[in-house]
């Protein structure tokens, strides 16, 4: 079991540290640039049984392009930094400040699908029938991958970790 956890950690560390100079965006410090998160809203029933608003209260996320597609668009991007999202039940005002400060390497594929290799917590929203986890808003924390197909279906494959149901926290 220990070897199964160490290998993904070593792979993620290698992916985060290795980037060809040609893939670095111009004018950024060591290739890292801010990657701010926008506020968002989802209606009742889309993720939780009630309407939800999400807004970063701490957002120090940066990204580094590691590889590009032939057209110059980002193919493989590393993300890191502190991110705390206030998730609010807009019907009652109940909220939870969710730590989503995980580190990820995301592969953006030509067909619109994505493959994430993740260490630590990330906020994952899933619609009804839209993934291998239940409909909801979840903080997935640990060592895992997240596959998002071209239609938006999400598959979380945990090597080690937990899932926190934010709808239950603010419901």
The two tokens of residue 94 are 């109940």
Look up tokens 């926008």; give the residue.
38
pLDDT number for residue 28: 54
Tell me the per-residue pLDDT of 35-80, one tens digit each, with 9 for 90 and over.
Answer: 999 999 999 999 999 999 999 999 999 999 999 999 999 999 999 9
* Nearest-angstrom CA–CA distance, 21 and 123: 31
Is the whole-model pTM more than 0.75?
A: yes
The two tokens of residue 8 are 């993904």
| Helix or strand (DSSP H, E) at 93 | none
Tell me the per-residue pLDDT of 100-154, one tens digit each, with 9 for 90 and over.
Answer: 999 999 999 999 999 999 999 999 999 999 999 999 999 999 999 999 999 999 9
The two tokens of residue 133 are 């986890």
Q: Percent helix, strand, coil in the chain (nearest 5)?
A: 15, 50, 35
* Nearest-angstrom CA–CA distance, 17 and 24: 12
Query: What sign has the CA pseudo-torsion 19, 7, 107, 42?
Result: negative
The two tokens of residue 162 are 């937990």
At 98 the three-state DSSP class reads strand
């Amino acid at each position: 079991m220990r070897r199964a956890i160490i290998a993904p950690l070593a792979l993620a560390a290698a992916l985060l540290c290795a980037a060809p100079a040609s893939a670095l965006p111009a004018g950024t410090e060591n290739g890292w640039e801010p990657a701010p998160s926008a506020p968002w809203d989802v209606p009742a029933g889309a993720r939780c049984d009630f309407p939800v608003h999400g807004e970063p209260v701490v957002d120090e996320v940066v990204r580094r392009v590691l590889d590009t597609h032939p057209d110059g668009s980002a193919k493989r991007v590393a993300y890191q930094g502190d991110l705390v999202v206030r998730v609010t039940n807009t019907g009652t005002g109940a909220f939870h400040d969710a730590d989503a400060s995980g580190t990820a390497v995301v592969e953006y594929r030509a067909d619109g699908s994505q493959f994430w290799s993740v260490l630590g917590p990330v906020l994952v929203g899933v619609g009804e029938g839209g993934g291998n986890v239940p409909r909801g808003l979840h903080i997935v924390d640990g060592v895992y991958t997240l596959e998002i197909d071209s239609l938006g279906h999400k598959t979380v494959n945990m090597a080690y970790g937990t899932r926190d149901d934010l709808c239950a926290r603010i419901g």
